Every structure is written in C-alpha cells, then in structure tokens.
A = this chain, B = another copy of it.
Amino acid sequence: MNASIVNGRMKPLILITNDDSIEAPGLHRLVEIAAEFGDVIAVAPKYPQSGQSSAISVEKPLRINQTDDYSGARMFTVSGTPVDCVKLALNAIVPRHPDLLLSGINHGSNSGNAITYSGTMGAVLEGCTNGIVSVGFSLCHHSIKADFSLSAPLVRDIVARVLANGLPDYTALNVNIPARVVPAGSKVCRAARGHWSEEFVRYTDPAGKPFYMLSGRFVNEEPDMTDTDEYWLSQGYVSVVPVTPDQTAARYIESLSQTFTI
C-alpha cells in the first residue's frame, strides 16, 4: 500500500518550514504533530534566519540537501531564507501541491507588528501567495530549550481544524503561544499596533570606531485594547490572527484618488 493512501483516501501532504533552521527543536515538535495528520516534508533553512521577513536570495546560488528522516518525514535544508525554502520546495522538492504549509514552531514571539520582520511568517505568506493553506506558530519564549509540551495539544487541535475547514481565500493564520503556561484556550484577534524603542546598543571597536547592534523594546501602542493578540497573550491565551499578503489599504483608495490622480 502506498504510504500516502489510508482507507482509500489520499493523506494530506504537509510542507513544514521555519526560520530557526533545520536544527531547531520547535521544527521537530511541529513535524511530530503534523505526522499524525499526513505525509510530511520539511524544507528548512540550513542556517538561522531570524528577522529575514519575506527576503529572497537574489543573484545567489541556492543548494538543497536531504538529511536524515525524522518522525517519518523527509527532511531537507536550503542554503537560503525561509521564503527561498518555500519557493524551492514547491519548484524542486514536493511531488504535488501541498495541502497545508506549517511554519515554526518559532523560538520567540511573532505577535503585534513583529510579523513584518518575521521569517516564520514570511514563509507563511509565501505559502498563501501560492494558494496553500498556511499557518505559522510561534512560542513566546526565545530559549532554544523552550518547553513546547504545554502547548502541543492546542497546536494539534488547530492543525486538525485547519485541515478540516481550510481558510478563506488569500488568508493565512499567525498563531502565537504564551510562554511557560498551559494555554487557557485560543482567541481569534487582530495584531496589536506598536513600534520599537531604544533599538540599538552602540559599541566602540578596538580601533575606536562605533558599531551598532540591534536590540529594542516593543512598545504596544494599544495597551488598553482587548481585541489584540498582545492582550490575549497577556491573559494566557493562544492568539490566532488571520493575515493576508495583500498590503493594499483599500479603504483609502477613493479618498486618496482626489489628491493623487494627476
């Protein structure tokens, strides 16, 4: 019997990637969960790609390497960004169009505006642009030793519901998981708006010249709003934010037409 056929039905093909690299424990936890639902192929960056957003490798050769299977999944590395991983997976690795793309589980939060910089979510938006139901998972804990077991049942439940129900056209999910607690449940909400302050630490090199390292503190500009991901995470819930690759601010097209039609 072909491994991908169960009870006469094709098992779903699940493509998994992340931005923390093939070595990340969060990726392995996600592969284990996904393997309960379908045939899994993981295509992850060879090296960590945090903060790579939707970056693509222009004018740079990319290589694919297959590594040891894990939990029944075929595992590949790509020498590029998370979006490179998705593009190369679709063009050169998967045997057919995946039914689901999962990205993560990221070591660190991707809530609020942080989605903009997130390689985890860059991969999700790329899947969505290619017509694949896509979900990103992030645990609000940066440690490589973070404990994913507390949230595993909820991740499993969300994967099951996505497979059963699909998602609206051109829409993906950004799922963030609170750290160090058993989640109280999950809430569908919007991304909190914020910005970063004190973004750099200034150093002086041995030659007396300055250099800067990115640091920064997220400033939630809507701390009193109870419909945001930041709010629900602070209450111990998993936040589920529907996101779209379409960045057009459609509601302003008409009013701006008066000023910018030349």
Interface residues of A (CB under 8 A from B): 50-64, 83-84, 87-88, 90-92, 113, 115-117, 122, 125-126, 129-131, 154, 157-158, 161, 165, 167-168, 170-171, 173, 185-191, 193, 195-196, 199-200, 202-203, 209-214, 238, 240-250, 252-253, 255-257, 259-262
User: What is the count of identical protomers in the complex?
Assistant: 2
- Supposing A117-B56, A212-B61, A213-B62 touch, asked if A165 and B249 sit within 8 A by C-beta, the answer is no
Additional pairs, 13, CB under 8 Å, beyond known A53-B54, A116-B125: A51-B55, A53-B83, A54-B116, A62-B213, A63-B210, A87-B200, A168-B256, A171-B249, A173-B260, A190-B246, A238-B262, A242-B248, A245-B247
> CA separation between A214 and B165, bound complex, in Å?
34
Known A-B contacts A190-B250, A259-B161; the reply to A113 vs B92 at CB < 8 A is: no
- Among residues of B, the one whose C-beta sits closest to the C-beta of A213 is B61
Whether B157 and A129, one on each chain, are in contact in the complex, defined by CB atoms closer than 8 angstroms, is no
